[in-house]
A and B are shown apart, each in its own frame.
Chain A
Amino acid sequence: MPFDPNDMMKDRITDIGPPKYDKYWPPVVKENYGKWKYHEILEPGVLVHVSETGAELYSVRVGAARLITVDLVRDICDIADKFCDGYLRWTTRNNVEFLVSDKSKLQPLLAELKSRGNWFPVGGTGASITNIVHTQGWAHCHTPAIDASGVVKAVMDELFDYFGSHKLPAQVRIALACCLNMCGAVHCSDIAILGVHRKPPFIEHDRVQNVCEIPLVIAACPTFAIKPKKVDDKKSIEINNDRCMFCGNCYTMCPALPLANDQGDGIALWVGGKVSNVVSQPMFSKLAVPFIPNEPPRWPTTVKMIKQIVEAYAAGARRYERIGDWINRIGWERFFERTDLEFRHEHIDDYRLAMTTWRTTTQFKF
């Protein structure tokens, strides 16, 4: 029965949830669920998982943009039909994994991927820089300070060699969020690219009372910078600009407080975060570069500074050290020297709990 626009409730199905998890597993996964014994990375981007039954599953990981089309998904399906009995998956970092149960199809699959120009780069495993997780940016979001897909494309082009190789001390996870909301949480990444605003919102007094709940706007400000104010005969608000830290939360609550601005907005870079519990504990990313102007279409300064960080890390870190581990060993004074990044007043915290980040020891390096 097709959808009947005149009777929306007819045959309506709701709350069925997602397909059950085993519905799209290849047979080798069904048969070896919970029985996997070990894995090996045969070459960058190519993994084999071996079961205690002796069964093998080959996974070929390819990079993809996060913003894709159904045409690309169909291309991916064509490849999976030809080499993988139609089975594939995506990783949490927007890579595609072709799942090969028949070893004889592995090399032909790799040859096919290679033959298709730059659509399907193989890599993203081990001590590499894998795909950058990111947000919508100018493509589809209402609060961005920067674009997302464009910045990511420019950065990955520059770091491409690291995607298909295993030559770093450890994996480097890069993430981008186009505003402080961080709908792609980037606060624990080896390198985080964050869109920031630098101008307080302007107030459209004509619109505020029509489109905003004023008490919610006032409550939304974490620094209590917003007060109610009557302008002429209209209910509105006023903002103490000196208290604004540009989080944009008031704009989320009230569209009559725009803060996006071509000159005000740009990129901050953060380093040294991680989520895994391996060797060291999970860490937040810390500020490396407070502000870089938006430079579409290829954001050259951002790309250059990220490259500086990656190269200093690659040269200085010991095997298995993540960027944060490396910095903790050498110290922040050395980090800024070796990456040739400027240390400025913005790096010294002045928000809540700021004193927990100040140096309270005579131990530091000259």
Chain B
Amino acid sequence: MTQKHATPLLDELEKGPWPSFVTDVKRRVDKSPMCNDWMGLMEMSFHDMEGHWKHGGIVGVFGYGGGVIGRYCDRPDMFPNVAHFHTVRVNQPCSKFYNTEILRKLCDLWDDKGSGLLNMHGSTGDIILLGTVTDQLEPIFYDLTHDLEMDLGGSGSNMRTPEGCIGKARCQWSCIDTQDIIYDITMEYQDALHRPMFPYKFKFKSSGCPCDCVAAIARADCSIIGTWRDKIRIDQEAVRAYVGGELIPQAGAQGARKDAFDIKAEVIDLCPTKCMEWDGKALKIWDEDCTRCMHCIRIMPRALWPGVDTGATILVGAKAPILDGAQLSSVVIPFLKMEPPYTEFKEFVEKMWDWWMEHGKNRERLGETIQRLTLREFLKVCDLTPDPRMVNTPRFNPYIFYDPAEVPGGWEHDAKAYRERHQA
């Protein structure tokens, strides 16, 4: 192997039991001058303790305003093969299922027209192809769309590539069809995905149940989380089998246990609403008190399942700290059936977007716009009715912004009559 640059610091990361990206990339130094120089640049960062990539330039494919992030190294004199090292985001298939045929095609494409480095996947969910030059962008896009039947993902102030959990493809808890929902949103709003039209990025994520395996509640501007509003389904025979030690609690997630399963300590007492009772023979659940936290279902997966009147809770506004601090999504639609063609959901989305595009400031996420202009205003423009499920607590300050329309006579006073009643 002929490494152009010595990498004594990176070499230290070839040690240890976890798979080493250094060992992996080293395999490519002979075939890829880009990888060879990338190793050198990375080693320099490890030595300097500073990054060596410049701000992104504006590059892309014709007709799209996103999907490609320009990247240039700040020492092209030393590492000419990574002088241009752009990122291409490719919209992943839902839930990241592949067959080897499509993956091999992708590898051949990226071997031929890029560095051969990639992320499976980026945080938002896209396949991230790392490192190519401007001249290759159109050929890559052509091959992607023609040979792989794939398309670019989102970047910049557009709808980012939506992402969902594995859903009904391999999970018994999914209350909604996350794959169909995500695919439908992605296809319906292709224009918003490829052409920036928003104040800032906008993310949709959908999890099939409140376990929220794609972290929709923490990082999506619009979180679609599966839930149910009827009763938890119970197989009493199986509950007794768990208690009797015939079934393994939590599907074996705790490994080999030394102690016996204690349904009272491990399920009944941990229920956040204390809505369950075990009398030694049968499990009783007061479903009207259940907040659907999933704990009992997770611990006894062969005995309990979500109900059958399923749908989604819609929450909005999550984001990482930049700029106004981190936010979790807040409930705005406690329950929506979420069945194709998702008309009611899309009507909501479009009202929300219209308002945000009109009132959002440059680089202001939806959650920040709502904070600035109030949740009340958001509910009003989206035609949603206030509901106690939307708050942890009613306000505890008395500073209410009353609407003049709700006060008899509006905001007008009769000053003269007042002073006739009260001397100044």
What is the interface of chain A, defined by CB distance below 8 A to chain B?
1-3, 5, 8-9, 11-25, 29, 33-34, 36-42, 44, 49, 57, 59, 63-74, 76-77, 80-81, 86-92, 94, 96, 118-121, 125-127, 133, 135-144, 147, 149-150, 153-154, 156-157, 160, 163, 165-167, 171, 177, 180-188, 216, 219-220, 222, 247, 249, 255, 260-262, 265, 275-280, 282, 284, 294, 296-298, 319-320, 351-353
Contacts and interface: CB of A to CB of B under 8 A. Distances in A.
Interface in B3-49: 9-10, 12-13, 15-22, 24-25, 27-28, 35, 38, 42, 45-49
Given A138-B46, A185-B320, A279-B272, A284 B93 contact: no
In order of increasing CB-CB distance, the 6 nearest A-B pairs are A126-B253, A166-B255, A157-B16, A21-B94, A182-B320, A138-B45
Nearest to A166: B255
Contacts of B100: 77, 80-81, 86-88
B99 A24 contact: yes
Contacts of B123: 133, 135, 183-185
Nearest to A14: B63
Interface string B202-227: 00000000111111111100000000
A65 B20 contact: yes
Given A38-B172, A160-B16, 16 more contacts: A19-B150, A34-B168, A70-B116, A73-B103, A92-B163, A92-B165, A126-B253, A126-B255, A127-B255, A147-B45, A150-B10, A153-B13, A219-B362, A278-B298, A296-B49, A320-B270
A138 to B, nearest CB: 4
A19 B149 contact: yes
Contacts, number: 379
B42 A90 contact: no
**Most chain B CB atoms below 10 A, which of A44, A167, A219, A282:** A282
Contacts of A64: 19, 120
Contacts of B210: 276-278
A216 B218 contact: no
B301 A119 contact: no
A140 B18 contact: no
A92 B211 CA distance: 14
Given A8-B138, A185-B215, A278-B293, A119 B19 contact: yes
A38 B302 contact: yes
A143 B74 CA distance: 13
A15 B151 contact: yes
Nearest to B149: A19
A172 to B, nearest CB: 13
